[in-house]
Amino acid sequence: MTLPGHPFLASHDDQLTLEGHSLTELGRRFGTPLYVYSRNAMRAQAASYQRALAGRSHLVCYAMKANSSLAVLQTFAEAGCGFDIVSGGELQRVLTAGGRADRIVFSGVGKTAEEMRLALDARVRCFNVESEAELSVLSEVAHAMGRRAPVSLRVNPDVDAGTHPYISTGLKANKFGIAHEQALAAYARARALPGIEVMGIDCHIGSQITSASPYLDALDRLLDLVDALSAQGVDLQHIDLGGGLGITYTDEEPPSAEDLVRQMLGRIDARGHGHREVLVEPGRSLVGNAGVLLSSVLYLKPGEEKNFCIVDAAMNDLVRPAMYQAWMRIEPCQRRGSTVARTWDVVGPVCESGDWLGHDRKLAVEQGDVLAVLSAGAYGMTMASNYNTRPRAAEVMVDGDAVHLIRERESIEQLIAGERLIG
């Protein structure tokens, strides 16, 4: 029996499995904390976007900040995807994983001149520029190299995505993009700069969006600008619709990738822009439900007000609950019919009261059991830290019958290798 929203995760003979592999056995084999990903789940999600865009010029750019592990990037590169990057380091990761520079769009509000040079040397497809100040610096850098930088301007449409304020990016109060009212003037400035070649327009309003309405509202505002630019003789080659489609953590019912993209394409066609190339930048929706975090139960600590299930994964391994108060489903990897279920707070060993993975979870669990935190493929390992001098977890990718260790567990020696005593 598969779990809702997790087609490659199933309960079979009282064991939780991913692509048929027992998660309990993987936790025992590789140790915990451990991230485990389904490669076929990632492929299936990428294919859903590609099906929706079939028949027209398009590029699916994986927003790699969601999960930047090399084997994950390799999976999407082999699936024909491009990449949405936000740093020079992410550029190097894509190239190391076999991604093509001409399929990279470079986003982010604070690109440095050195990062611009690296991206121009690599010949990335496009820079998504987020301010007029950035335009000026990029033009100077490109002109000094004898180049013209291909750009889209990221427009902030002032549309509420209805998501957590930390991951909302399309409002006037957010730091991202150029205000809608200032966009035409910014395009005029871009066209006048010697090191800039205007290619497209970009919009991204947030993350974990569970309704099509904010996308369509933002798209209408974007297409108004495309119309106005066309009237001024600016013929944009592409429209970048951004990403941010949510996944099911609890009872959310986001539209499927195919349904969302088809609605947006219908709006584009109706406005007379179906001939333009379409870019999308999905992240969480490609990898979120493809991954789990495995953690072993260290101790059970019943109390007068709370019962604590203390596990070996912590906020340094998975920061979403502490940072966003995110609810993530937690399941025992082995069902125990003889154990009475109780209500537990699942907490880690880090010395912070905010170190928790789940509050008030009814679990039949015993010391030594392995638990799985679901929907951990996005913003899990990529946001991990070494707080309390804790080595980061290992990562495993399952692919049919194969099991691949894609990142070794860090050692204490690696953590302190770059440090120096004085004298």
Q: How far apart are CA 290 and CA 7, in angstroms?
A: 9
**H helical segments located in 244-396:** 257-270, 284-287, 320-324
State how far the alpha carbon of 230 is from the alpha carbons of 58, 216, 221, 391, in Å: 20, 21, 14, 53
Please report the sign of the dihedral spanned by the C-alpha atoms of residue 370, residue 373, residue 375, residue 378. Answer: negative
Sole residue written with tokens 């880090």: 350
CA dihedral 219, 196, 100, 176 (to 10 degrees): -40
Q: Cis link prior to 33 (omega < 30° from 0)?
A: yes
Other CB atoms within 10 Å distance of the CB of residue 248: 18
Q: How far apart are CA 52 and CA 243, in angstroms?
A: 14
State how far the alpha carbon of 283 is from the alpha carbons of 61, 63, 78, 287, in Å: 9, 4, 16, 7
Q: How far apart are CA 393 and CA 27, in angstroms?
A: 11
Beta-sheet strands, E only, within 181-265? 196-202, 238-240
- Bridge partners of 126? 105
* Nearest in space to 23 (alpha carbons), one of 413, 396, 287, 344: 396
Q: Note the Cα 298 to chain centre separation in Å.
A: 30
Catalogue the active-site residues.
Answer: 351
State how far the alpha carbon of 417 is from the alpha carbons of 107, 409, 410, 421, in Å: 32, 15, 12, 11
Task: Give kind and range of the element (H or E) at residue 331.
Answer: strand 330-332
CA dihedral 69, 71, 73, 77 (to 10 degrees): 180
Per the CB < 8 A criterion, the answer to whether 370 and 22 are in contact is no
Q: How far apart are CA 377 and CA 72, in angstroms?
A: 10
